[in-house]
Amino acid sequence: MKTRFLINKNGVYYLTTGKLLEYKEADAKGDPEKEKGVKKVKETFDHIKNQPHTWYQSVEVTDQHFSALNTGQSD
């Protein structure tokens, strides 16, 4: 089953529908390039997290039949 998230940003809802990339320290161990990638993702996340107005509500959608007609396309 594909992992999907609904995100609420200022009253506009977004649904992730594409491929989700995973960055897991435990799985990167022993591979310098993967370790570097995980570190970069973590550092970028922490940097953005510490900026004002960068946190939004997000929930995981586990109902595999969930769908709704969208009102536009987000970049």
Look at residue 19 in the predicted model and tell me its pLDDT: 87
Global pTM? 0.74
pLDDT of amino acid 22: 93
pLDDT digits (tens, 9 = 90+) for 11-66: 999 999 888 899 999 999 999 999 999 999 999 999 999 999 999 999 999 998 99
Type of residue found at 11: G
Q: How many residues does the chain have?
A: 75
Signed CA dihedral, 66, 68, 59, 75: sign only: positive
The CA R_g of the chain, rounded to the nearest whole Å, is: 15
pLDDT at residue 75 above 80?
A: no
Task: Find tokens 């709704």 and name the residue.
Answer: 68
- Domain positions in the chain are 4-61
